[in-house]
Amino acid sequence: MPRRQWLRQGAAAALACALPQARAQGGAVVLHDALGRRVEIAAPPQRIVSIFASNTELVASLGLLDRVVGVEDFTRFPPGVERIPKVGGRLGFSVDAVVARRPDLVIVTPARQAAHQLVDPMERIGVPVIVLLSRTLDEVMGNLRLVGLATGVAARGQALAAALQQRLQAVDRRVAAQRRPRALMVTGRLGNGMLLVARPGTYTGEAMLRAGSRFALDGLGTVPQVSPEAVLAADPDVLLFAGTREGLQDLAGQRGWRDLRAVREGRATTVARAEFLIPGPRTFDGIEAFSRWLHPAAWAKENA
């Protein structure tokens, strides 16, 4: 999908989040989430259950971690979150565990059946639920505004989203005149030998483009799996590995991989999984870091 189309869709999604919001009678907040659901929140929530690391990071970035009373098993950031009670994880989410935390707001993302398992039960007992999507960077910033509104810190959410937008625009200016190398990001390795890669139509793929690269593989669809043979045939200028240096060395040391242009020319590097695979403010740190590595001359003058 062309970058312009991504941006148009992202802008439309952000607008959809912003426009339908209003104040109901008595001061309640009324908003529409990513699925178009009308959600009414009677008062700023003080007991939030945030399902998935990305949603917890959004709440924490707004300075509200002290209101979070339940998270999913694999949330590791920010520091201190490990002490928050867990309400489920890879095998599913427990309605009973969520209810036991007495939440006045639940934030979910429709992955691993979380929305399917939790939205209807919470609605039946009168607990507001917001469903968030993060398909584009604009949606990530829109989520900050939406969560800020839902939690009573709308100005804070607007300010943080605006600051991230300014950082993104600064990257755009730096890379505008740069040659964009063909890049491929490996985000995972499967037991059958297939690879997971960043692809168009995702915030991770958009982050790669905004940093100043282009896709080395054409025709990537909704399935993120590719064969090693496809990667070797594409011979990318830049190889990114979302993981550890040891993981990259293991991959790059395999037969065929060591002959890739990116490996031979020292253009293979790691990127932080937390920055490219968890949609939130840290994604913008990742874009800046990758752009600095990719286009050092464009970043040579910090005030450029």
Residue linked to tokens 């709440």: 59
Secondary structure element (H or E) that encloses residue 69, with its range:
strand 68-71
Q: How far apart are CA 132 and CA 118, in angstroms?
A: 13
| Count of positions (residues) in the chain | 304
Query: CA 39 from chain center: how many Å?
Result: 23
Q: What is the pLDDT of residue 20?
A: 41
Average pLDDT value for residue range 203-214: 97
Residue linked to tokens 């740190």: 285
Q: How far is CA 58 from CA 16, 119, 161, 284, in A?
A: 19, 19, 11, 13
Average pLDDT value for residue range 139-162: 97
Q: Which amino acid is at 301?
A: K
55 neighbors 74 (Cβ within 8 angstroms): no
**Model confidence pLDDT, tens digit, residues 229-278:** 999 999 999 999 999 999 999 999 998 999 999 999 999 999 999 999 99
| pLDDT above 60: residue 127 | yes
**Model confidence pLDDT, tens digit, residues 165-204:** 999 999 999 999 999 999 999 999 998 889 999 999 999 9
The CATH architecture to which 179-299 belongs is 3-Layer(aba) Sandwich (3.40)
Structure tokens at 142: 């829109």
Question: Alpha-carbon Rg of the chain, whole angstroms?
Answer: 20
Computed over every residue of the chain, the mean pLDDT equals 89
Q: How far apart are CA 150 and CA 118, in angstroms?
A: 18
| pLDDT above 60: residue 279 | yes
Cβ count near 6 (within 10 Å) = 22
DSSP string, 23-46: EPTTS-EEEE-TT--EEEESS--S
The DSSP symbol for 83 reads G
Domain ranges of the chain: 3-167, 179-299
Helices (H), 181-252: 203-210, 228-234, 245-252
Domains 3-167 and 179-299 agree in fold: yes
Q: What is the pLDDT of residue 223?
A: 67
- 12-26, 44-58, 83-97, 251-265: the lowest-pLDDT one: 12-26
Structure tokens at 231: 């990667």
Structure tokens at 255: 């037969």
Q: How far apart are CA 218 and CA 80, in angstroms?
A: 42
284 neighbors 167 (Cβ within 8 angstroms): yes
Query: Which CATH superfamily is 3-167 part of?
Result: Nitrogenase molybdenum iron protein domain (3.40.50.1980)
Cα three-residue angle 284-198-108, rounded to 5 degrees: 65
Neighbouring C-alpha atoms within 13 Å toward the C-beta of 304: 14
Query: CA 276 from chain center: how many Å?
Result: 7
Residue linked to tokens 């959809």: 16
